[in-house]
Amino acid sequence: MTLCGSQMSRPAKLALVGLTVLLVSQVAHAAPPTAITTCPFRIETPGQYYLAMDLTCRGTGITILASDVHLRLDGHTLQGLSPGDGIEAVFATDIVIQGPGTITGFSNGVTLIFVDFSRVIGVTATTNSSGFEVIFGNNNFLQGNVATLNGLGIAIFFGSENMMVNNFLMNNAGGIDVVSADLNKLYANTANSNLRGITLLASTQNEIHGNTALSNSDQDMFDNAPDCDENQWQGNRFDTANQSCIQ
């Protein structure tokens, strides 16, 4: 009887050994996630990070200065005691900030400045000057976040092709503000009981589809472009709007 293994050629055996060594090497060199147990904390190296406990911070809590960073809040709270951001990412790409978790008491909860192709998912921002801000950022994705009792809930300034999906905003001064920002997409967000619901200022070619904005004190939906320019407002639920092109 001939064993199947004995029929393998020498080159095939060498290739198999090489593949095994490569796989073992990759596993051995995978860095474990880094626990964040103090603040302020600076992330300057790509990798996996997680908030290991509730933290009270003076100034900015966590600063992200590297690309390819995945930060999990793991159900914990960042509490601010003085001006600064809860989480600030600057000049980076491929950032993931993942809840659940709460950011409270800061100037801004989460701020992305010149950050592209990044995601903020399932984070709660409450009692900050701003909940979530994207400034000069493109192709970012904000989904399932909650903003309450902030000055601004979510704001996009000078960014394009960002997407906001299924975020919940209540009791803020502004629900969602899009300012000098084009080609963004707002789908299925809820902005109720704010001063302003969903507001577009000096922005064009945005898609605002399937959102709900009710019981906002000033106006539920607002677009300052004449005849909404090339902004597409479709399938939204609201009571008040400043133009008939808002649908």
Band (pLDDT 50/70/90 cuts) for residue 152 is very high
What's 83's DSSP letter? S
Biggest CA–CA distance in the chain, Å, is 86
Percent of the chain past pLDDT 70, that is, above it, reads 88
CATH number, domain containing residue 201: 2.160.20.10
The H or E element that residue 22 is part of is: helix 10-29
**Average of per-residue pLDDT across 78-94:** 96
Please give the tally of structural domains in the chain: 1
Is 194 within a domain? yes
Cα separation, 74 vs 215, in Å, equals 33
Whole-structure pTM value: 0.87
Report the pLDDT value the prediction gives residue 10, as an integer from 0 to 100.
58
Q: Which of 52, 97, 95 shows the shortest CA–CA distance to 77?
A: 52
- Which domain range does residue 131 map to? 33-238
Band (pLDDT 50/70/90 cuts) for residue 31 is confident
pLDDT per residue as tens digits for the range 190-232: 999 999 999 999 999 999 999 999 999 999 999 999 999 999 9
The answer to whether residues 123 and 148 touch, using CB atoms and an 8 Å cutoff, is no
Is 205 within a domain? yes
Greater confidence, 147 or 27? 147
Greater confidence, 237 or 6? 237
Cα separation, 83 vs 173, in Å, equals 19
Tokens 């090339």 identify what position?
230
| CB < 8 Å & 24+ apart, contacts of 189-192 | 189/164, 189/165, 191/153, 191/216, 191/220, 192/216
Is 37 within a domain? yes
